[in-house]
Amino acid sequence: MGNKAKIKKLKKRLKKLEKQLKKASTHTHAVAPLAPAEFPALPIIAGARFSAVKAGVKYADRLDVMLAELQPGTTIAGVFTKSTTRSAPVLDCQAKLGSDPTNGAAIIVNAGNSNAFTGDNGFASVEAITGAVAQTLDVPANRVYSASTGVIGEPLPWEKITVCLDELNGTLMPDTLEQAAQAIRTTDTFAKGAKAEVKIGDRIVHIAGIAKGSGMIAPDMATMLVFIFTDAKVDQPVLQSILSNLTDKTFNNITVDSDTSTSDTLLLAATGASGVEVDADTQAFCTALHDVMLDLAHQVVRDGEGATKFVEVRVSGAKSDADARVHALAIANSPLVKTAVAGEDPNWGRVVMAIGKSGAYAERDKLTIRFGEVLVAENGWVAPTYREEDGAAHMAHDELLIDVDLGLGNGKASVWTCDLTHGYIEINADYRS
């Protein structure tokens, strides 16, 4: 190789490194094409206040730490990753669920460093942060919940968080949940929020939630950080039961890349400030909470790293709901299906492949496959009326439906996913640069 060629190659490499360093300092990417037009106007949740600061945990000049202060009497429920390598903050939160709600509570979250796989340093960091928050807000340490998201395996510089606590405390406001949503992002291209207002009796109950998630998304509780707040009055065991049930219908049915995080945390706080008592039979409340959770779950998929397509995989006619979900996840997680979607290729053979490998029961000659309203295959063969151009026309849409009827029973399930593009590779190749 001549000198000119070597210099050209070095300049190209330098340009790439400069690009990676710029991304690493801010971790910002172009807003996903499937993003909502704007962040919703979230209702004020009486009994809750929020703040966010630029602590510089990893990112330069970005909000990266949020604090939520919750009034005495607030009950808190949570679901967490089942990963055997889950982080110190997750283990700490799990241990604190069910603590006496008489006193106030707090949630402190940082982005940029997950405090996972950090040994004793991880637990020491959690203790230092939650202890400092407890002292600052005058609440018991066992009522301070922490969450961290970001790079795995690097010690958390917790002093950058605790030194900001006076600022966080001094800027707590009831109407700053959007800033909190901004502060918990990593590779997310937009902040995620959802809301609901529901009339129970003659009074209104408010629900507001925020989430982060873009990559490392697969069902195993929830696969992201999610924080939901309501002014309803709900006993902790009831709140936990409602949350666990609804999680299985929402966050546990999304997947971006089949990878489950070490840091997945979903906390639901009920301040009770409205005075409206809710139990598991209060259908209006459960429906509203379900809608908020599903909205946030869908936003996570819409922000899937590199995603250009939002896909619902709907399976019916299975022997059981469990079998239907297994088939749906096999389709949604298949790299071959996801890349076909990215290329707008109506390759229904890949759907057949995914069903066959899922491990759940299926009979080839009873399968019916549709892309949207287009009948693609039936009776073990391509449908006589199917035209490739019709399938391709559906695949050209931003929002797609892959519909499978197994023809075996009444089991059904829906899973939501996205396509797999070169953008996913670029984002993750630069993640620790």
- Residues recognised as catalytic: 223
pLDDT digits (tens, 9 = 90+) for 115-162: 988 889 999 999 999 999 999 999 999 999 999 988 888 999 999 999
Total Cβ atoms within 10 A of residue 220: 17
pLDDT value for 1: 53
What average pLDDT does the chain have?
A: 89
In this prediction, residues 35-54 reach a mean pLDDT of 96
- Cβ atoms of 296 and 316 within 8 Å: the answer is no
pLDDT over threshold 90, residue 235: yes
Sheet with 368-371: strands ordered across: 381-382, 374-378, 368-371, 399-405, 310-318, 411-418
Exposure class string for 108-146: b at 16+ Cβ within 10 A, else e: bbbbbbbbbebeeebbebbeebbebbbebbebbbbbbbb
* Coil, helix or strand at residue 202: coil
In this prediction, residues 350-372 reach a mean pLDDT of 95
pLDDT over threshold 60, residue 13: no
Cα–Cα distance, 89 to 77 (Å, whole number): 15
Percent of the chain's residues with pLDDT above 90: 71
Q: Sorting pLDDT into bands at 50, 70 and 90, what band is 46?
A: very high
Cα–Cα distance, 169 to 426 (Å, whole number): 38
At 235, the amino acid letter reads D
Rg (CA), the chain: 23
In this prediction, residues 13-25 reach a mean pLDDT of 48
Cα–Cα distance, 260 to 254 (Å, whole number): 11
pLDDT digits (tens, 9 = 90+) for 175-224: 999 999 999 998 888 999 999 999 999 999 999 999 987 545 454 544 47
- Cβ atoms of 222 and 264 within 8 Å: the answer is yes
pLDDT digits (tens, 9 = 90+) for 247-274: 989 998 988 765 556 668 899 999 999 9
In this prediction, residues 166-177 reach a mean pLDDT of 98
